[in-house]
Amino acid sequence: MFDADPGEELALVVETARKFALEALQPHLREAEAARGVEGSVHEDYHAIGLAGLELPEAHGGAGLSSVARALVNEELGAADAGAALALDPLGPALHPALEMGLALEPLAAHGARPGSRVVLATDLDGQVSVGGDRVTAELPYVPADRADAVVVLAGDTCACVIEGIAIEPLRGAGLRAAGGGRLRADGPAVATVCDPAGAARARARIRLYVASLLLGVLRATCAFSRDYAQQREAFGRPIAHHQALAFLITDMKMAVDGARLLVHEAAWRLEAGLPAEAAAASALAQCVEASRTVGPDGVQILGGHGFMADYPVEKHMREARALGLLFGGFDAAVEEAGRRVCGNDAPLGLVESALS
């Protein structure tokens, strides 16, 4: 029966991720942003505590944990520094097409084991991507990376990996600068190619949850920071949080984030349980992005002029939430996929039916 608590084992994983995020990432977020990367020792620590291969099967040296674990961990890391979270995860969402579609994992696992490695994901939702014969070409206006050891491409139902002919031309980036950022061109021989429609659909679901959970973390952080600030800052003789306009705004922000989180967790649970999860994951991302349109800017608004300045993290939250919501097709592609599935002839009428399935 419905139980939204993570359970003891996952609670421990979350606790580990939270501690790491608060100690290793949060205090250095501006430095990481300026340096377009995190320090080598942080990469080492990230690997040492087992976050690098979270979902990689144990046979390949990973922890073999589920989508639910990924969602919970990403929220913690995203709440501290979403850019750093991307920089640290050597495989990132690029793992998911490989995992779900049966691409040979050995070469990727080798990258996953190396601190500082980056495998970048390019999908046809972000730009021009094609897999033709033995060749892969990709041209994306932006990826959150300055360099890539390999690129996994997901084009329609096909996934392939390329390691030669990759070029990333660095860009300033709207946010997520700790991950680097640039324009990606890849044109090289495919190391492996797989076509699997069902696997591709599940991979897209996991990619969306990866982004959605990072985004949730950013939104949670902006809620918490602006709430605490509003209880300290006084105007007209009382804390600004005690003016009803702001009290209700803070309430609505929290409500938006808590609601979106449950959608993310439900979709992740569905993936783990082997239930159809594509529509749920797409909807979860759409809801996170929708929330980010108000929660991000509202976080800045609560701090007034101070919120606009780089002295506080809320302006970074606002930029990064927006940038995350644009990745992998963002809101539009998510709504398109969820809408198609909800309206499809195979979709049962009524949500209880679908919840019961």
Partner 1 sequence: MDFSVDDAARERIEALRAFGREHVRPAGLEADREGRPIPVGHAYFDAAMQHGYGRTRWGREDADAGASNTRMALLLAEEFAYWDRGVMIANPGPSLPEQSVIGMGTDEQKERYLGPFVAPDRPRWACFAMTEPGAGSDAAAIQTRARKDGDGWILNGAKCFIGSASRSDWILVQATLDPTKGRAAQRAFFVEQGTPGLGPFKTEKKMGLKAYESASFSLTDVRVPAANLLGGEARYERKAGFKAAMQTFNAGRPVIAANAVGIGRAALDEAIRFAREHDLLGRDRVRDRIEAMARKVRMARLVCLRAGQLADLRRANIQEASMSKALAATVALESASLGLELLGAAGARGDALIEKLYRDAKAMDIVEGTGQIQRMIIARQLVGLPRN
Binding residues for partner 1, per CB under 8 A?
1-7, 10, 68, 227, 230-231, 239, 241-242, 244, 247-248, 250-252, 254-255, 258-260, 262-263, 265-266, 269-270, 273, 279-280, 283, 286-287, 335-336, 338-340, 342-343, 349-352, 355-356
- Cα-only R_g, the chain: 20
Secondary structure (DSSP) of 106-123: HHHHHHHTSTT--EEEEE
Residues 6+ apart with CB under 8 A from 119: 90, 91, 92, 94, 95, 108, 111, 112, 148, 149, 150, 151, 152
Q: Rounded to an integer, what distance in angstroms lies between the CA atom of residue 318 and that of residue 201?
A: 30
> Which residue from 151, 118, 92 is spatially nearest to 36, judged by alpha carbons?
118
Q: Can you tell me the distance from the alpha carbon of 296 to that of 330, in angstroms, rounded to the nearest whole number?
A: 16
Taking the alpha carbons of 45, 48, 51, 53 in that order, is the dihedral positive or negative?
Answer: positive
Geometric angle at alpha carbon 298, from 69 and 327, rounded to 5° = 45
Nearer to partner 1, 171 or 335 (CB): 335
Shortest Å distance, C-beta 153 to partner 1: 27
Give the residue with the Cβ less far from partner 1, 105 or 249.
249
3 state SS for 11-63: HHHHHHHHHHHHHHHHHHHHHHHHHCCCCHHHHHHHHHCCCCCCCCCHHHCCC
What is the closest distance, in whole angstroms, from the C-beta atom of residue 295 to partner 1 in the complex? 14
Whichever of 59 and 245 has its CB closer to partner 1, that residue is: 245
In which residue are the tokens 């998911």 written?
96
Q: CB-wise, 6 or 165, nearer to partner 1?
A: 6
Min CB(211)–partner 1 separation in Å? 16
Residue number, 31 or 353, with CB nearest to partner 1: 353
CB of residue 248 vs partner 1: minimum separation in angstroms?
5
Which is closer to partner 1, CB of 131 or CB of 279? 279
CB nearer partner 1, residue 1 or residue 59: 1
